[in-house]
Amino acid sequence: MRLLITLTLVLVPTFYAYGLGVELQPGPSDGKDAFVNSANPGNNSGDHFHMYVGRSTDTGGTLRAFIEFTGLDPYIADGYECTEAVLELSIFAVNSGPTDEYGVYRVEEDWAEDTVTWDDQPAFGGTPVTFGEPYPGDYPIDVTAVVAEWFDGTADHYGFCIKHEDEASEDSGNFGCSSSDDGAADNRPKLTVTLTGATVEPASLGRSKAAFR
What is the tens place of the pLDDT at every residue in 154-177? 999 999 999 999 999 999 999 999
Q: Find the DSSP H helices in the chain.
A: 73-77, 144-152
Q: One-letter amino acid identity for 191?
A: L
CA–CA gap between residue 188 and residue 88 (Å, rounded): 9
**Averaged pLDDT, 80-104:** 95
Can you list the positions of beta strands (E) in the chain?
3-10, 15-24, 32-37, 50-55, 62-68, 81-95, 102-107, 124-131, 137-142, 160-164, 174-178, 190-199, 204-212
- Predicted confidence band of residue 19 (pLDDT cuts 50, 70, 90): confident
Mean pLDDT of the chain: 87
What is residue 6's predicted lDDT score, i.e. its pLDDT? 38
Is pLDDT above 50 for 14?
no
* 67 against 209, higher pLDDT: 67
CA–CA gap between residue 35 and residue 53 (Å, rounded): 8
* CATH, domain 22-200, list 1.20.144, 2.60.120, 3.30.70, 3.10.450: 2.60.120
What is residue 210's predicted lDDT score, i.e. its pLDDT? 32
User: Up-side HSE of residue 187: CA atoms within 13 Å toward CB?
Assistant: 16
CA–CA gap between residue 8 and residue 14 (Å, rounded): 19
